[in-house]
Structure 1
């Protein structure tokens, strides 16, 4: 039986890639040294897969920033503004596309979420005159290297239909006009890969969505083109993140040698697929969850695989991960600080490879009795763990009433009271919440954790940082201030550490984008809030200024979607538990005199199921959870929320249903295009579209930002428009932060004066 994964985490068990990238960007690491580290990581990951007993190792899954960007580079689709002939394609032009060019004042490519995950990809740009052609052979070089090292490489390519579907068109371009040229470039890649790889995986996760008609019409012709180029290598159609639904016929008709099905997300489709699978097609079973950290029930997985093998024949069945392990941490064996019972129930990427190896070995007749017995014992111990069920939390949930899900008055009435209480100018300015996390702040947190600094000294240090942040905002002339979040390591982990029911890893890092990694908390038990989490810090900041200071909280849907969630309760019920806990914090902030409270729901959109038929159920309980969190306050308290790097058009009415007084969104990389959804729906509440990109080191000028504000005013009345950056400023340095915010405030003043002069 063949066994494989769809991809391995890139960052390294100690985040080696992250630190190397940041050293390279600072000029401390050469391009040759960076490439050498990449080679070391790839070879290490191949060895992990082979040692786990996998018959194939994945190549082409590694990236120095993003695999969608890599595909655009492979196809030679470089936007004209980055086409500096004097700069090498890698790394100079590559990283300029990802991060922008501060020296030449060139903005980066747009970034958005990869389907329903927290991974961000760079959105390829299509403009007239672009000619796709094979321009980078990295995947071919990797396949050759893996083969030379004695492995059986399986190349992984993002499929052409999904790639084109993810692109953004400019200048009247129509993406599928490039289909023939794109397919020709892919054919050349396959031609060169065929002598090196017995299997080549073409990932088309777009099949798990409600595909546009143009994408559907293109799919089978593209598949036919690719089949003719493989020249002896066999092709796997990779699908994941959901079921195939209405696209099952397309997948089965592709003519490829194997179909991969993500059973962790589409187990209900297995019977239909097995019953209709063409006789010349194998079935790759995604039995191991690539997006969570719990051990697979190996007895159940083996039973599923054996049942399919009995019907199709063992030679037509693969054991696999559901999706790429990119979304998993690397190695749970590094988690020596976790409770042994909890750790024993977890599997990170290294362990998931071993699980797949065990499934394949058992189906091949190997004796893995001890591994199966140990797996069953760990699962049983976790279910019986102390504190997993809290009767008080369950009782509170049963007591939630419809009245707890709505504000006391409609928005128009609340806005009048809030305007009177806050006395803000037209086009008020604010930030999203965080300010730069300096080395000194991180050192103080580390010293506290190690016992080298006591709590009193730590709090004094953090208060000093807060005082500095408030003073800087006063100097800049911002209207609604924040405390800067210096006490927070991460917007989800910080709150998880204050709540019951959460556990934390020491090395459970997952790539979010580029060098940015997050360490999701683990929800393993019922959730509650034993004590206030933010009140003392926000109250201290408010005592330093007469301007309003926002209380900064992470919302329940985002905490859920950015955590590894227990798999023994519906996600909706876990989210309601979190909502009640955060509601308690909201009410405590209001009682302490905080006039503005921001409840961030950055991950609201990414939790949306890919199939339209499944979306309303999710959106209904997600909106209810936000409203449960926010609706206990009085009308004068202004509730904000923030959402970033997502496509909002399809869910705009649900964002309105959240009934936040102000919602801020990422808009600058898309040049305010996202606001079209707010125009078409006539969004009723206040909006703060981001007017500069915080994920790039460049400092946009006053007129550039003023131009974006004017674009926003074509959609949003001045009385309902806020001015803010795209996202939090945690990852930026102070000089660029101050320069950018100064320009933002000046842009707001400039356009404010224009608006007042016109009235």
Structure 2
């Protein structure tokens, strides 16, 4: 039996990776120095896995931005809007594809399956694909030369790569896969020539819906690769669920199959028992949760592996995490402030690899050598389970009475719309923002001073009020119609609420990558969630006192808080979401009572929680939508509920969005170049829509004409009375100057469209 890993967090124990990137982008670090720092970070990650004696250590899981972007540039898929003449892609072009530049918008960004990680969507169509450089080989050779490591190169498989790309006609999906097989063959043959033993080919898209034609193409692809690689061993890795076509999967001509025995445990175990496993293949069993931060029950994992070994001999078995550890923080060791009762039950990346290796040692040499660790582990888990935090009687009573809680507005939307138009008297195409404004160095420094105790609560509150006043003035000067307070008191849209609700705790260094250098520190939901006191009222009321214009209250929705947290695993996610919804309902009522009658409850992560299996989706949608409505349905008809979603496949989700019964939803239309607007050509939608008319993830300032064209395109499919105009997401990560210039252009574009509509109607 061997131990294996699928991927390691890129960011470093102290986010060294993020800091190096942002120093380079700010012009403070030369390109050569960036490359050196990245090499040092990568090597340290590999060394840590060597120190843990992991047998199969991944290489090429490290990246300067995103692994899907790496694949795109390796295959020369650089759209013509970038200045690229072939050959290896420069860092300048690479980062332009990720972040945009003055002359070209960035590539579209979307979620990696059901995780909170975002990847850059590769674009076919502009160029003929060709290998520009063999990135897995370079990573393998660097690890071998520097550390003497015989690494396991990782590469995204052809089916998944094309499935997650764009720029080809739907009917050309299979043809596009076969078009790039020669590129994969070239990359893999070069790896074989340099003595690589195993290559991990990630095919997580295998767990999604597949057609008979898909299976035929997959079989042809891997047959062609196998025939071209007489000595190289391929580990075909799936994760995030079980594959529905198990028998066809294990029959593919590869030397190993990787299966997820966490999220897909029931189906994968059943398939093993029913159909067996080929005696000429290795099974890489993902037994430790690669996406959550709780320690495994080692006794349960022992029984799981024992069950697996009834179908697969130990000499053909690898134990590993269920997915890449990209989705969890690096190490618990730095968490010096956590309550010991909870800390003993946490496992980040390093600890998960420790669990894998511990179990491997137990099976190699006998369970008795790890019996002490198993006993201590089970005792810690039992202690947390019986703690008061997980047994709050008030929360359990509220859940028991949930069926008595109305989840429906007392006036339907078609009546509310007229009531709200009369109450608010907003112009056609009202302009607003999603909520946050730039968190400058000054803002971050002030927050740190407050957290360290260097500033008193009064000092910090005074500072926050100064920021709110400054940006209320800026918004009025720009000419926005509905204002926000700016969220300067908030580090993160989920962390902020977790700090104020019961049942949450926070790590000191529990950072994970969200996109690019953007790292988040997800809250840990370890106990029952309950409302303790008003969380947002003070800042919203202060902002409202500074202007005659409407000011939105800003909350994060229950499904997003759930999906962007590390969630306790002893009860269902549905139950946790309902607890959050009941707590948020009280906050919504507090805002309304304080005179805030526009309330935005953001649900950017609602869709990302959608299960990969179609048969599981209705249940999730039902309880996620119900949770939103529980949180928002008790307000008066004049109170306008807004929500926000970003990077969402709206064409298959529009009915769900309508069922939320929010008065206005803002959507992203910038990186997808207005494609989402086409949804409304065929779908009926009657509620308000906030058009995200420019990309906030790029530092470029969009021209007035760009945004005017986007609005005009939208008006071809729906009446102007339905639209609001806004950026596509919050502005926290942007600089003040570019934010102001972009918003001024947005308002100017909106006024131009209004004038044109007014002239047309006369």
Per-residue Cα deviation, 1:593-648 (whole angstroms, up to 9, x for no partner)? 11200000010010000011110000000000000000000100000000011222
Aligned-pair distance for 1:14? 0.5
Instruction: Quote the residue 1:675 is aligned against.
Output: 677
> For residue 159 of structure 2, what is the aligned residue in structure 1?
161
Give the deviation of 1:214 after TM superposition: 5.5
Question: Do the aligned partners of 1:131 and 1:181 also contact (CA within 8 Å) in 2?
Answer: no
The within-5 A match list for 1:288-687 is 288-365=288-365, 367-401=369-403, 404-687=406-689
Cα deviation code 1:74-113 (max 9, x no counterpart): 11111111133499723111000001112xx210101111
Cα deviation, 1:459-506, whole Å, max 9, x if unaligned, reads 011000000010000000000000000000100000000000000001
Query: Partners in 2 of 1:697 and 1:430 — Cα distance?
Result: 19
Rounded to whole Å, the distance in 1 between the matches of 2:113 and 2:170 is 25
Does residue 205 in structure 1 map to residue 198 in structure 2? no
**What does residue 716 of structure 1 align with?**
718
| Structure 1 residue 171 displacement after superposition | 8.3
CA contact (8 A) 2:529 2:583 kept: yes
* C-alpha spacing 1:197/1:298, structure 2 compared with 1 (3 Å): farther
CA distance 1:150–1:356, shift in 2 (3 Å): same
CA distance in 2: counterparts of 1:214 and 1:744, whole angstroms: 46
Contact 1:466 1:541 in 2 (8 A): yes
- 1:720-739 equivalences in 2 (<5 Å): 720-739=722-741
**What is the CA distance between 1:309 and its match in structure 2?**
1.9
Could you tell me which residue of structure 2 aligns to residue 264 of structure 1? 262
Match for residue 251 of structure 1?
A: 249
| More divergent stretch after superposition (32-41 vs 106-115) | 32-41
In the other structure, the counterpart of 2:178 is 180
Distance of 1:618 and 1:415 partners within structure 2: 29
Correspondence for 2:221: 222
Residues 4-48 of structure 1: CA distance to partner in whole angstroms, max 9, x if unpaired?
111000011100111110111111112221111221122211122
Question: Is 2:436–2:732's contact at 8 Å kept on the other side of the alignment?
Answer: yes
Paired position in structure 2 for 1:54: 54
Paired with 1:272 and 1:336, the residues of 2 have a C-alpha distance of: 43
Partners in 1 of 2:529 and 2:265 — Cα distance? 29
d(CA) in 2 for partners of 1:716, 1:562:
33
Structure 2 Cα separation of the partners of residues 325 and 160 of structure 1 = 22
Question: What displacement does 1:418 show?
Answer: 0.7
Assess if the C-alpha contact under 8 Å between 1:132 and 1:178 holds in 2: no
Contact 2:600/2:642 (CA < 8 Å) preserved in 1? yes
Q: 1:27 — aligned with what?
A: 27
Supply the distance in 2 between the matched residues of 1:212 and 1:469 (Cα, whole angstroms).
Answer: 53
Shift of 1:334: 0.4
Distance 1:10 1:503 in 2: 24
Rounded Cα–Cα distance in structure 2 between residues aligned with 1:596 and 1:213 = 50
The SS at the match of 1:27 is coil
Q: Distance in 2 between matches of 1:6 and 1:83?
A: 34
State yes or no: 1:133 paired with 2:135: no
Q: Which moved more, 1:199-208 or 1:549-558?
A: 199-208
3-state SS of 1:695 partner: coil
Q: Contact 1:12–1:330 at 8 Å: present in 2 too?
A: yes
**1:35-76 Cα shifts (integer Å, max 9, x gaps):** 112211222111222222211111111111110010111111
Instruction: Out of 361-370 and 654-663, give the one that drifted further.
Output: 361-370
Figure out how many residues of one structure are paired with residues of the other and give that number: 755
Gaps of 5+ in 2: none
**Residue 226 of structure 1, CA deviation:** 1.8
Q: 1:63 to 1:274 in 2, by over 3 A?
A: farther
Is contact 1:672-1:689 (8 Å) kept? no
CA distance in 1, matches of 2:741, 2:142: 46
Query: Which whole-Å CA distance do the structure 1 matches of 2:184 and 2:87 have between them?
Result: 26
Alpha-carbon shift at residue 145 of structure 1 (Å) = 2.4
Q: In structure 1, how many angstroms separate the alpha carbons of the residues matched to 2:211 and 2:760?
A: 43
Cα distance in 2, alignment partners of residues 41 and 359 from structure 1: 28
Q: State whether residues 165 and 215 of structure 1, in contact with CA within 8 Å, keep that contact through their aligned partners in structure 2.
A: no
Q: Give distance in 2, aligned partners of 1:41 and 1:65.
A: 14
Deviation at 1:369, TM superposition (A): 2.5
SS at match of 1:56: coil
Structure 2 Cα separation of the partners of residues 534 and 281 of structure 1: 56
Q: In the alignment, does 2:147 pair up with 1:145?
A: no
Aligned counterpart, 1:78: 78
> Which residue of structure 2 lines up, in the alignment, with residue 287 of structure 1?
287
Residues 1:477 and 1:674: Cα distance change in structure 2 (over 3 Å): same
2:86 and 2:570 mapped to 1: Cα distance? 56
Q: Is contact 2:297-2:377 (8 Å) kept?
A: yes
8 Å Cα contact 2:116/2:514 also seen in 1: yes
Tell which deviates more after alignment, 602-611 or 152-161.
152-161
**Is the contact made by 1:642 and 1:663 (CA closer than 8 Å) also made in structure 2?**
yes
* Contact 1:87–1:93, Cα closer than 8 Å, also in 2: no
Secondary structure of 2:729 counterpart: coil
Deviates more, 1:304-313 or 1:426-435: 304-313
TM-score by length of 1: 0.97
Alignment of 1:87-98 (within 5 A): 89-98=89-98
1:6-45 aligned at under 5 Å gives the runs: 6-45=6-45
Change (3 A) 1:625 1:328: same
Match of 1:241 in 2: 240
Q: Say whether residues 1:109 and 2:107 are aligned partners.
A: yes
Secondary structure, counterpart of 1:126 in structure 2: coil
